[in-house]
Structures are given as structure tokens and as C-alpha cells.
Amino acid sequence: MEFHWSAEDSEFREELLRFMAEHLPDDWEEISKGGPGSDDQATFSREFCALLADRGWLTQSWPKEFGGKDASPWRHAILGEEMWAAGEPRGPQYMNVNWIGPTIMEYGSEEQKALHLPLISRGDVLWCQGFSEPEAGSDLVALRTLAIRDGDFYVVNGSKIWTSYVNHAQYCFLLVRTDPESKRHRGISILLVPMDLPGIEVREIPSVVGDRYFHEVFFSDVRVPVGCRLGPEHEGWNVVAYSLQYERVGAARYARAARMLDALAQYADECGLLDDPTTLEKLGEARAACEASRVLTYRVIDLRAHGSPPTADTNVARVAGTLAERAVADLAMEIYGRDGLEYGSFADSHFRLAMTAGVAVGTTEVNLNLVAGRFLGLPRDS
Amino acid sequence: MNFELDDDQIAILDAVGGLLDRHAGAARAIELAAKAEYDHALEAALCDAGFLGVALADETGSLEAALITESVARAGGVVAVAAAALIAPGLTGKNLPGPIAVARVDPSRPNRSAPIRFAGHARTLLVLDGEHARIVTLETGDAEPTASNYGYPMARLSRAAMERGDDLPVGSGARLARWWRLAIAVEAVGAMGAALDTTVEFVKNRRQFGRAIGSFQAVQHRLAECAVLVEGSRWLAYEAAYADSEQAGVGKDGVCEERAATAAAHATAAAGRVFAETHQLTGAMGFTREHDLHVWSMRLQALRVELDGVSGQRRAVALARWGRSH
Ligand SMILES: Cc1cc2nc3c(=O)[nH]c(=O)nc-3n(C[C@H](O)[C@H](O)[C@H](O)COP(=O)(O)OP(=O)(O)OC[C@H]3O[C@@H](n4cnc5c(N)ncnc54)[C@H](O)[C@@H]3O)c2cc1C
């Protein structure tokens, strides 16, 4: 065991921080409050990701044959950590690099690879994830959106919900049922759908999390070329499982929480609260939660760096991440008090971004089920 | 970064595991607890095999000392291994004659201390007194044994004994506190791991309503949440133990202080949760001396209240990170 960064990794982080200091706009703090999917952030992401791409950093963790540099998972983790800590200037494009690209590399046709991977590597394309449906949340395999084969096309009908980033997206990583008779894991396929096809309608679902946060997407007789199918017909579930392992620890949300906590401690200090034992205690508690989330995420990255197949350590890390985000957000509200109630204030912005942590990307309960079964070996029933 | 044990660490853990299989374990802990005795034989075996000296040896350091301490805690060893293997070497750069107890001067107690783990059997006492640490050689009559159900032999010490000996330089107090916190974290991780394993085994086998109680989701989630806390504590403790090593490049006291306090804050809070859930889920059986759980669970309470307890550990995190002196 060695818990230190190599000289090259430390250098990379330094260089990255200098780069960010130079290229993030002066009002970045304000922009970042809207979250990766806000209009400003999505727009800025094209400019910023292109710069990252110029330096070869955006997809450095990808294999050389796909334009990457075969950089270690640790290098990718450093990039993710610094990006999230700053409020994710890659906007929604973090998803492209983390899991959409790698899934296309694994399962895509030559045409798909030739089309999508360069777009992602250039940092100039926005995607959304069409998984959840009104009747298929945690139980994703209950999905019903149908794609019926008609010659060289699939005709898609149905709807997706909670779809982040869809208002800016050019492509949707869409889960559909291609076999209408099928149930559960069978009969599912994945379509890489251009969002400008006729018959796709996006509606915002107003929420207390923020503006343009949630959307519902309706598909009415949308004709998607068969060439857009990713992986085998009806056997798409394996592809989903593959993508989910990359997705679950994709976002270094603890890094954002830790950064917010430092800012909160500074504010507490300005208010003279660092002499108050109760405040100190709560700050320390939240800091420990962030650090626990960090080391548990590192554990998952380390397993990946050693070539291990995915384990339930990922779910352990996810649960810890949610605890950390909540601890910081709750404390921010407590320390700012009523000032935190104003929309867009420091405490409010952080609180709203953190409040969904236990639900987005698989709920805490679903993660706990997996920890109980796979990590602790507890029986299902009997 | 590398979270895998290297070959040397695996070899050390195998060797200490073999020794603990022969000399320690829940049954032995229960037998010794009945007589409030210290496991001198185990301490001698650990010492002879060189396990108490790894922190200062050439090829090993505080991380290996932490791994050994965790193993001994898992095996319920009734020895002051953390003080011998981690705290004394960390504070003084030397190994000191054991058994070693660790105590803090409490100005509100002019005559005698609160119960202190191992104080009745210790030869050496490490005292934390404000900015200073002291090393005291204990004499007969210094300690007054205290009956306790909390898993360790305990005694109160006279104030005079705690004030004997020369002060180490200013700053030694903080140094002792740092190593003490790390030791608390590592011991708690070992005890929590064993308590959780025992409980998982219990709920897999215990059947009610025609099924294993471990198949009820209400039971599963509580143990899964404990696992999240224990795993987090474990990696924080290893990282904190490593922070002191040269390679870490963070050998600055400030960083080490924060890491040790963080590990202790997380582990002692987790200990409270693990205590409550493991006892809840093992029903009445878990309270008996016949079942092994108490060997570890009761110790968790003792670890939780050391050095101002969970709240003290948390304040130490905040002061190390954001306090004005840094
Ligand atoms: C901020 C945010 C962004 C999102 N972005 C996207 C996106 O871009 N694309 C997309 O496809 N989806 C997205 N989602 C949807 C997300 O994946 C789902 O919300 C999530 O999977 C849970 O589904 P649900 O909301 O239907 O809740 P449900 O599944 O209805 O769950 C409600 C509650 O029941 C509990 N529950 C359900 N099943 C079990 C069980 N077996 N055992 C115990 N408890 C259970 C859940 O844990 C939860 O507490 C997003 C969600 C959020 C909050």
C-alpha cells in the first residue's frame, strides 16, 4: 500500500490547476452554481472541453487507438476531482468521457466509433442519458419505450423522464425494448439517437432543485436508423450493465463537497464561529465524511487500476458520497441560517445540488441492497 | 497510489495471523476478562517475533504497525499493542518497555485519574499534559484497579504518578495526541470489523419467521450502512498511518495531525453506530458472555470516550484543518 501521488501525477494536477486558473472566467463561481446542466455551463463546456482536448487531457484515459493516451485511471480521477471540485466546467460532457465513449468503444460498430469518438474527443458534443421512465425508476428493467423494427429503421414510441441535460443534447443514449413480447432483462436494446429527429418532444418538469433540471422526453413514431443501435439487438442489458459500472463512480462529487466545506469554514471563521466548540465539531464531522468518501472512491479507482472486475466497493463508495454531500449541505444551511434561504446564495446553491445525491444515479437503497448482497454476502430470501 | 497490500505486508499479516491464532482469540479474551488479567504471554510472543518494533525497522513503518495493531484488535488480544507498536515509537522514536498505558492529565481531577486502559499492568506510562508529553515509569501503588465491563483491564492512576518524570519539549503534547488518535482509529477499525463479521454470521444463521433474519431488508440495510462506515474508517486509518512515512511526502505535522484526527473522528462515530446495530441485530444472545460479540463491542465504547470522545476528535479535525495556528 502506498498513499501518495507519483511525481508525474502531482505535476499533472498542478498544471491542471494553473490551466483552470487561467481559463475559467471571472464569474465562474456564479456560473457553476447552476450545476453542469445549466444553460451557461452547457454552453461554456464546449469552449472549455475544446481547450482540454487541445492539451490532450479530455480523453487521456482512453486507449491510444481511440485517440487517448492510455493514461491510468488515477490520472483520470485527478482530472475528475479537480473538475468537480470547481463545479464541473466540463458541464454534461463529463458523461461522454466517463461512460458513453468507453461503452461505444466496447460495443460500437466501426461507423459508430468513427462518428462519435472523435466528436467526444474534440469536446464539442452534448449527450443525455435516456434510461428512466415514469414506471421504470430503480427497477430499470421495467422500461416500456418500444422500438419496433420497420425495414432499416426502428420506430420508437414512449417516454423517458428525469433526463438531465436533454435540453442541450445532440444525442441520446436511449434504452428501448425492441422485442415487444419480452420482459425484464431480455429484449432490451440501446439506440444512439440524434435528438433532431422528427417526433421527439422535450418538456421541462419544474422542480425545486432548479430551473431546467428535469425533463420528460416524448417519442412519437420517431424513425431511428438501425445503424444507430449500439450492440446486439434484444441483448442490450449487458451493454447497460457495462456502462453503469463506469457511471457510478464517474463524478467526484466528494471533491465538490470538500471544496464547499472549506469555503464554509472560512465563512464561519469570518463570523467568529471557529471559537465555538459545536461549530468546530460539526465542521470536523463533515470533513471526516468527505474524506471517507474520497478514500472509498480511491479504493474503487485502485481496483480498476489493477484490472479488477467491478465489485460492490463501488456501491460502498456511492453511499459514502451521499452521506458526505448531505453532511456539508446540511451544515451550510445551519451556519448560514436564514440567509441560506435566498435563491442562489451559497448555502442554497449547494443544498439544492446536494439534495438529489441519494436518488440520482441509483438510489441509496439500491446501493445498500448491493452492499448487503455482494459485499456482506447476506442472503436474498429463504 | 496503491491500495493493495504488497508482498511484505501480506507476509507480515500472515505471520501475525498465525501467532494470533495460537495466542489470542475471543475465547482467550473472555477467559482473561473474567480475572481482569493482562495477556503477558501474547505481548511476549508479539515482541519476540519483532511485531512491536516494525514502526522503526528499516523496511517497515507506521503503516505496518497499524496493520499489526488492527489484527491484534480483531483477535481480541488483551495487550496494549497500539501503545507499544504505534504511539511510543511515534512519540519518542524508540520502543519503550511494555506494557505501556496512555493517559491525559485532567485538571479537574486533582487526586486520581479516570479509568485508564491497561494502567494497572503497565510499566511505562505516556502522559499528555497540555503542550507537553511525559514518559513515566510506573511503580507499585500508583494504580488502583477499576472493575469494568468494557473489554480492557482498567485502573485509575494517582495524580502524583502522572506528574512524575520529565517533560518532553513543547510540541510533544500535540505529537502524542496525534499518534494516540491514530491508535484509537486503528483499534476501533479492528474491533468494528470483527463485531460486524460476527453479526453478519449470526444473521445468516439465525432463523425467525421461517427465514434467515439476514434476508430481511431492514436488517440488511443497517449492516450495509455499518459496512460503509467501517470501510471508510479502515482506509482513512491506513492513509493516516502512511502519512508519516517519508514517501508520502506529507510528513508535515499539520497534515499528519489532520489525517489522524479525521481517521479517529470517523472511526469513533462509526463505533457508536456499529455497537448499536450489532447488539440490536443479535438480539438477547448478543448480550451474553457466551456469544463473542461483547469482546469487541464493549471495547468500542471504551475507545469512543478516550481523548474527549467523538466530539473531541471532530474538533481536532477542524482545528488541524482550519484552526488559526496552521
Ligand atoms: C438529479 C437527477 C438526475 C437524473 N438524471 C437522469 C438522467 O439523466 N437519465 C435518466 O435516465 N435518469 C435520471 N435520473 C433518474 C434516476 O436514475 C432515478 O430517479 C432513480 O433511478 C430512482 O428512480 P425513481 O426516481 O423512479 O425512484 P423509485 O425507484 O420510485 O424509488 C423511490 C424510493 O423507493 C426506494 N426503492 C425502490 N426500490 C427499492 C428496493 N428494491 N428496495 C428498497 N427501496 C427501494 C428507492 O430507493 C427510493 O427511496 C435522475 C434523477 C435525479 C434525481
DSSP string, A41-73: HHHHHHHHHHHHHHTT-TTTTS-GGGT-----H
Residues A273-295 have a mean pLDDT of: 97
| Residue with CA nearest ligand 1 atom 51 | A360
If pLDDT is split at 50, 70 and 90, which confidence band does A71 have?
very high
- A40-79 residues touching B, CB cutoff 8 A: 74
In chain B, what residues touch A285 (CB-CB under 8 Å)? 265, 269, 314, 317
Q: A332 pLDDT exceeds 50?
A: yes
Give, in order, the Cα–Cα distances in Å from B309 to each of B188, B300, B303.
13, 11, 8
Contact B4, A1 (CB under 8 A): yes
Residues A145-157 have a mean pLDDT of: 98
Mutate to test the interface with A, among B231, B255, B281 (most CBs of A within 10 A): B231
Q: B278 pLDDT exceeds 60?
A: yes
Q: Quick check: B315 and A265 CB within 8 A?
A: no
Neighbours of B96 (CB within 10 A): 18
What average pLDDT is seen over chain B? 95
Closest CA to B267 of B294, B295, B299: B299
Q: Between B201 and B245, where is the model more confident? A: B201
Give, as one character, the DSSP assignment of residue A178: S
Q: A361 pLDDT exceeds 90?
A: no
For B159-181, the pLDDT digits (tens) are 999 999 889 999 999 999 999 99
Q: Which residues, 6+ apart, have CB-to-CB distance to A344 below 8 Å?
A: A33
Q: Quick check: A1 and B63 CB within 8 A?
A: yes
Cα B179 from Cα A50, distance rounded (Å): 47
Which CATH number applies to A248-375? 1.20.140.10
Is A348 strand, coil or helix? helix
Chain centroid to CA B193: 12
Give, in order, the Cα–Cα distances in Å from B155 to each of B36, B115, B141.
10, 5, 11
User: For residue B127, what is the enclosing H or E element?
Assistant: strand B124-129
Domain A128-234: CATH superfamily, name plus number: Butyryl-CoA Dehydrogenase, subunit A, domain 2 (2.40.110.10)
Output the pLDDT for position B315: 97
Cα B5 from Cα A372, distance rounded (Å): 25
- B227-246 residues touching A, CB cutoff 8 A: 227-229, 231-233, 235-236, 238-239, 242-243
Q: Which residues, 6+ apart, have CB-to-CB distance to B114 below 8 Å?
A: B106, B156
Q: Nearest 10 degrees: CA dihedral of B311, B314, B319, B321?
A: -170
For B47-84, the pLDDT digits (tens) are 999 999 999 999 999 999 999 999 999 999 999 999 99
Q: Is A7 on the interface with B (CB under 8 A)?
A: no
Output the pLDDT for position B248: 57
Of B9, B221, B262, the CB nearest to A365: B221
Counting from 1 in the atom list of ligand 1, the atom nearest the Cα of A363 is 47
CATH architecture of A7-125: Orthogonal Bundle (1.10)
* Domains along the sequence of chain B with CATH: 176-322 (1.20.140.10)
A138 alpha carbon to ligand 1 midpoint, in Å? 5
Pocket, ligand 1, Cβ cutoff 6 A? A 128-132, 137-138, 162-164, 356, 359-360, 362-363, 365-366, 369
* Strands (DSSP E) found in A178-326: 188-194, 200-205, 214-225, 229-230
Residues A270-277 have a mean pLDDT of: 95
In chain A, what residues touch B228 (CB-CB under 8 Å)? 296, 316, 319-320, 323, 371
Q: A63 pLDDT exceeds 80?
A: yes
Residues of chain A with CATH 1.20.140.10: 248-375
Residues of chain A with CATH 2.40.110.10: 128-234
At A263, which amino acid appears?
Answer: A
Chain B: nearest CA to A67, how far in angstroms? Answer: 25
Of B63, B219, B236, the CB nearest to A291: B236
> Which bin fits A53, alpha (ψ -120 to 50), beta or left (φ > 0)?
alpha
If pLDDT is split at 50, 70 and 90, which confidence band does B246 have?
low
For B10-43, the pLDDT digits (tens) are 999 999 999 999 999 999 999 999 999 999 999 9
If pLDDT is split at 50, 70 and 90, which confidence band does A213 have?
confident
Residues B258-266 have a mean pLDDT of: 97
What average pLDDT is seen over chain A? 94
Output the pLDDT for position B232: 98
Could you confirm whether A247 is annotated as catalytic? yes
Q: A214 pLDDT exceeds 70?
A: yes
Output the pLDDT for position B184: 98
Residues A304-330 have a mean pLDDT of: 94
If pLDDT is split at 50, 70 and 90, which confidence band does B326 have?
very low
Chain centroid to CA A306: 23
Cα B314 from Cα A261, distance rounded (Å): 14
Residues of chain A with CATH 1.10.540.10: 7-125
Output the pLDDT for position A212: 79
Chain A: nearest CA to B311, how far in angstroms? Answer: 6
Output the pLDDT for position B255: 67
Q: B249 pLDDT exceeds 70?
A: no
Contact A322, A274 (CB under 8 A): no
- Number of helices (H) and strands (E), helices first, in chain B? 12, 8
Output the pLDDT for position A382: 55
Task: For residue B203, give the chain A residue with the closest CA.
Answer: A378
